[in-house]
Structure 1
Amino acid sequence: MPSQNATGSSTQALRGASLLILLQVVSRAITFVANQVLLRFLTAQLLGVSTQLEVYYLSVIFFARESLRVAIQRQDSSDLSSSTGKGGNGPRNNNNTSAQAAVNLGYLSIALGIPLAFLFGWLYLSSLSADTLAAAPNLVISLYIYALAAVLELLSEPAFVVMQTRLQFGTRATAESAATFLRCLVTLGSAVWGASGDAGVLPFALGQLSYGAGLLAVYTWHGAGLANREGFSLLPRRITTNSPASNDNKDRLPSFTLSYFYRPTLQLASSMMAQSVVKHVLTQGDTFLVSVLSSPTAQGVYALANNYGGLLARLVFQPIEESSRSYFSRLLAPSLSSTNTIMSKETTTIKEARTALQSLLKSYLLLTLAVTTLGPAASAPLLALVAGPRWAGSGAAACLAAYTWYVPLLAINGVAEAFVASVASEGEVHAQSAWMAVFSVVFAGTGFTLLRVLDWGAVGLVVANGVNMACRIVWCAVFIRRYFAAKGVGFDLTEVLPSPGCVLAGALVSQVVKRAVASVEAPIGAPKAVEELVKLAAVALPFVLVVAASERRFLYSAFHAVRGQQQMEQ
């Protein structure tokens, strides 16, 4: 039975990742087109202010729900189903107790988000100068609208967490697609409407408000339907034991705080809160560092490289990271069943988790081998087509070329930290938080040296991020090996590496394209850029064939594993 459940979860997670990747592609395409049009109506300074407002918005959302989301995904539903049941106002059957517990915990995100919106808003307004307020019309009202948008998005959290625990990725794809389309429509419409006047950053605020409203509407609709069919409530309700219902406090489950919030999940979320703070600082650290240590030119160059160079991470890696975190959390969730059941599960699911993690890491490395081989040479012609030849002499192409070496680190770190978040104990989470704080100091020191001392500009910021990411990967690698060793299963890191033939082919091809394609600093027009990309494609095709031939066994086994899971589900 555990194997069948794990297989079902694996297939659902795979399909969920595919849906999320498709969602990211569509959403980013729509957003990219909308941003290109918005540039005609907004100045660079207003775009900078809108970025600050977005950081404010993301900070409220992140601190309010991130740790709770991770903890809820690791909630042991078998424990809840076996120890709870009907109660005064509780869910109607044992199977939906976990859903009601998730809903109740979702309301904590709302309770956290409202005061955080006020606190962060006050801190942001206090940091603004009179010149900034004068140069950015409607900034204060826009901040209030961003705060309201954050609260609206958090109101959808109770329905979202239920969908996430049930692996209802289709609902998420529908909600985020509709919300993204609505945001782009409102943002563009309000920007065009206010073009004759001075709308400032108000179009961005109205667009974000429509995004939050869209999410809330779709999640509430689908969540209400699921709740009606399965007998739980989207409103918070008490959860009681299997004993007959009464008003006596003896019926209240000791594992629940105030008979609403599942205590083990609540404790895990609390322990992860400190890690969430550090993680968010590290995530937004490049934004803070570039604003303090670099020149305006370097800020613009890095922003361009980050937007275009990070597309692969946002389109592919992020959805897979979210799906793998959900998959490993459910597959390796601790159970309170008998000892024999636990041992049986370890002999099956632990090995399955090892195989899945190794396959995912190796797939990432094969993909990023192509990125690092072809990406540096492709940066100049691609940038000339997208941003125009005037960016070639600014160092943007060199920064984008350096960013292609940062992409593999993003990929490996994302899936490694997703696995750690799925299985780490409270003590291990605290240890990770402490080490991440150390890595943040390393990041700041490296950034200061490269930006202020060596004057590497935007390229230095990419390298500093790479050093920080490499430190985090090393910590995760040590944790993963220790985790599987403690379970009696070996984890050989060399098995995830590409074959020597692939590495040799990548080294040779990178030298060929370096000589065949124009230099990253050479200004080129659109016709020349197309010509250079054709040359690159001519070299890339045999390279891909060599990689496919060298890794044919791995690719063949991965294809049949996926196909076999789909056939078993059918």
Structure 2
Amino acid sequence: MTDKAQPPTSGTTTPAGPSAVRGASLLIALQIASRAATFIANQLLLRFLTAQLLGVATQLEVYYLSVLFFARESLRVAIQRQGGRENTADAKDGKFKKDKSSSSSSSQSAVNLAYVSILLGVLVALLLGQLYLMSINKTTDEDNEHPPFLVPSLYLYAIASAVELLSEPAFVVLQLRMQFGARAAAESVATVLRCATTLGAAVLSTHLTSESGVGLDIGVLPFALGQLAYGTGLLAVYVWFGAGLARLDGFSLFPRRLSGANNDSEYALQLFDRPTLHLALSMSVQSIVKHVLTQGDTFLVSILSTTTTQGVYALANNYGGLAARLLFQPIEESSRSYFSRLLADDGAAKNVKTDKKDKKEQENAPTVRAARDLQTLLKLYLLLSLVVTAIGPAAAAPFLRLVTGPRWAASGAAATLAAYVWYIPLLAINGVAEAFVASVATEAQVYRQSVWMGGFSAVFAAAGYVCLRVLDGGAIGLVAANGINMACRIVWCLVFIQHYFSKRGVSFFGDVTSTLMPHPLSVLAAVVTSTAVRRLVPVAAATAGPAAQITQLIKIAVLAVPLLVTV
């Protein structure tokens, strides 16, 4: 194995399955390590935070993520699709050319497009920042009183988003070459810097004396400083690796006119690939709707509840979403890259013949491989869901009390976290299903999906209003509304997937019982385990001390062993 710190070699990377698997494994390991560091830092930070501060910090994080999402998401997907098409076009007799000039041109095209993200990011940061300032100026009640340093923190988040977007030209090239080692190094360094800066600022503020003689209250400023450190770390490492690759392949990390780009029908301003721009534009509408749906819980709760309630929900959402960030997100990103490359030449995935003479060739056809791999992912997710939903709800209360203390456990976050456990399987299935759709959908299909997503957003808003205002469900009602919305999105994706494969002569679902559904014995084991856990871990135990919480968690872990063996 080559040293990950060395610049990659020139040439086009083949869309091989093992590369995607190694990439996913590396990203999962990275996520586990970085989230572990973030988790430890957050546990220490919770000793300095109130629910209101956590709620405001969540709002600022949504602002930051919104800027990044609107600026780069659709362009990232389009550039990845462009890379898949060029790799397929360069293929000959199943082998890929290692043409340095072609590789350099492809990389330069990706770099040029990345600067569109930077420009968009600056504009979006200004627009959303102004909207956020207008919204906070309207809050006058005591419960929503602004914490100190809120406006400077907003400015720091805006600067941090711009700094992170400056790393986009290097990132897209490294991603096209599947240089996951560079990404692992960048995110590791950035995570350490963020944790150290955030925790250091919070601890330092307690040692600084204010006029009242107590520790200086700097509000959410530690989070803003930590985010700025994170963006700076990403930029430094990505530029280091990107510059090495640029020297090797002869392209620039700055915008440069493409050689032979005199055809205005293919290139805009001799800089940007028109088909990729058009695809990114078509995906941008879908991206906006998708982001509103993804962050819709935060938008909705900010409208219908106080910042204290937002903090309680944010805490449950952070812990409940750990699985999504640790495991599902890296798999989703790698799946999108893998399926884009595997199915880039859609002409090779036309109707798969059933001639016995070509049976071996049929089994290795890209469409058949894609169907088999997607079925495997969905089956694994369903098995994982059995384990999570069997033991997760009962483990929520003792876990939360142990890691956050009695104040947070008594705030209602434990019940919200228990409800969130049932939402995790929907997150997992939707993530990989939408990754496949994004990999193969045409522009017309992307537009159609955007229309449906708009309808689902209306369903989500209606469900949220009923759950929060009519039924007064609080944060638990918000989880239920998200579940309804996510189920709608999953159904649409599964219909699309079935149509995609059936059009190419592949039966994706076939016998659902044997291909996707867990074995009846596994389901029975999950039901028995869930019943046993609820009886062994009574609700009253949630108010006991740390030793009792550890005992309850050990009991749950012991009961989970037979379930895992059965599955």
Q: For residue 533 of structure 2, what is the amino acid of its counterpart? A: V
1:99-119 deviation digits (Å, cap 9, x = unpaired): 111111111101111111111
1:18 partnered with 2:25: yes
TM score, norm. by length of structure 2: 0.87
Partner of 1:563 in structure 2?
none
* SS in structure 1 of the partner of residue 219 of structure 2: coil
* SS in structure 2 of the partner of residue 498 of structure 1: coil
Label 1:339 to 1:448 Cα distance change in 2 as closer, same or farther (>3 A).
closer
Name which of 13, 36, 39 aligns with 1:29. Answer: 36
Alignment map for 1:195-206 (pairs within 5 Å): 195=206, 196=208, 197-206=216-225
- The two structures, once aligned, show a CA RMSD in angstroms of 2.8
Name which of 117, 124, 135 aligns with 1:127. Answer: 135
The size of the alignment, in residue pairs, is 528
**Aligned-partner Cα distance in 1 for 2:412–2:204:** 36
**Aligned-partner Cα distance in 2 for 1:340–1:400:** 46
Partner of 2:333 in structure 1?
322
Partner of 2:212 in structure 1?
none
**Aligned-partner Cα distance in 2 for 1:111–1:345:** 46
Q: Percent identity?
A: 61
**Aligned-partner Cα distance in 2 for 1:134–1:511:** 45
1:538 partnered with 2:544: no
1:28-68 deviation digits (Å, cap 9, x = unpaired): 22222222333344444333322222221111111000000
Alignment map for 1:144-159 (pairs within 5 Å): 144-159=155-170
Label 1:337 to 1:416 Cα distance change in 2 as closer, same or farther (>3 A).
closer
Partner of 2:387 in structure 1?
370
Alignment map for 1:323-402 (pairs within 5 Å): 323-334=334-345, 348-402=365-419
1:516 partnered with 2:533: no
**Aligned-partner Cα distance in 2 for 1:321–1:81:** 22
**Aligned-partner Cα distance in 2 for 1:228–1:512:** 61
Q: For residue 252 of structure 2, what is the amino acid of its counterpart? A: S
**Aligned-partner Cα distance in 1 for 2:348–2:518:** 40
1:62 partnered with 2:74: no
**Aligned-partner Cα distance in 1 for 2:350–2:52:** 62
Partner of 2:232 in structure 1?
213
Contact 1:179 1:215 in 2 (8 A): yes
**Aligned-partner Cα distance in 2 for 1:380–1:134:** 30
Alignment map for 1:194-343 (pairs within 5 Å): 194-195=205-206, 196=208, 197-241=216-260, 251-252=262-263, 254-294=265-305, 298-334=309-345
Contact 1:420 1:479 in 2 (8 A): yes
1:171 partnered with 2:188: no
TM score, norm. by length of structure 1: 0.86
1:460 partnered with 2:480: no
Query: After the TM superposition, which of the residue ranges 494-503 and 467-476 deviates more from structure 2?
Result: 494-503
Contact 2:46 2:404 in 1 (8 A): no
Label 1:80 to 1:513 Cα distance change in 2 as closer, same or farther (>3 A).
closer
Partner of 1:98 in structure 2?
106
Query: After the TM superposition, which of the residue ranges 6-15 and 502-511 deviates more from structure 2?
Result: 6-15
**Aligned-partner Cα distance in 2 for 1:336–1:240:** 29
**Aligned-partner Cα distance in 1 for 2:25–2:39:** 21
* SS in structure 2 of the partner of residue 445 of structure 1: helix
Name which of 511, 528, 540 aligns with 2:548. Answer: 528
Q: For residue 187 of structure 1, what is the amino acid of its counterpart? A: T
Query: After the TM superposition, which of the residue ranges 291-300 and 471-480 deviates more from structure 2?
Result: 291-300
1:252 positional shift: 3.6
**Aligned-partner Cα distance in 1 for 2:49–2:312:** 18
Q: For residue 530 of structure 2, what is the amino acid of its counterpart? A: S
**Aligned-partner Cα distance in 2 for 1:339–1:134:** 60
Alignment map for 1:412-423 (pairs within 5 Å): 412-423=429-440
Alignment map for 1:412-561 (pairs within 5 Å): 412-492=429-509, 494=512, 495-519=515-539, 522-547=542-567
Q: For residue 539 of structure 1, what is the amino acid of its counterpart? A: L
Q: For residue 299 of structure 1, what is the amino acid of its counterpart? A: Q
Q: For residue 289 of structure 2, what is the amino acid of its counterpart? A: V
1:314-357 deviation digits (Å, cap 9, x = unpaired): 11111111111111111111368999999989961111101110
**Aligned-partner Cα distance in 2 for 1:505–1:77:** 43
Label 1:352 to 1:6 Cα distance change in 2 as closer, same or farther (>3 A).
farther
Contact 2:53 2:311 in 1 (8 A): no
Q: For residue 126 of structure 1, what is the amino acid of its counterpart? A: M
Partner of 2:124 in structure 1?
116
Q: For residue 94 of structure 1, what is the amino acid of its counterpart? A: S
1:422 positional shift: 0.5
1:530-567 deviation digits (Å, cap 9, x = unpaired): 222232223211111111xxxxxxxxxxxxxxxxxxxx
Partner of 1:551 in structure 2?
none
Gaps of at least 5 residues in structure 1 are: 84-90, 242-248, 548-570
**Aligned-partner Cα distance in 1 for 2:239–2:509:** 45
**Aligned-partner Cα distance in 1 for 2:349–2:302:** 56
Q: For residue 310 of structure 1, what is the amino acid of its counterpart? A: G
Contact 2:56 2:311 in 1 (8 A): no
1:379-434 deviation digits (Å, cap 9, x = unpaired): 22212212234555543332222111111000000000000000001111111111
1:165 positional shift: 0.8
* SS in structure 1 of the partner of residue 116 of structure 2: helix
Partner of 2:80 in structure 1?
73
Q: For residue 126 of structure 2, what is the amino acid of its counterpart? A: F
* SS in structure 2 of the partner of residue 237 of structure 1: coil
**Aligned-partner Cα distance in 2 for 1:391–1:200:** 19
Partner of 1:107 in structure 2?
115
1:182 partnered with 2:193: yes
1:193 positional shift: 3.2
Contact 2:363 2:369 in 1 (8 A): no
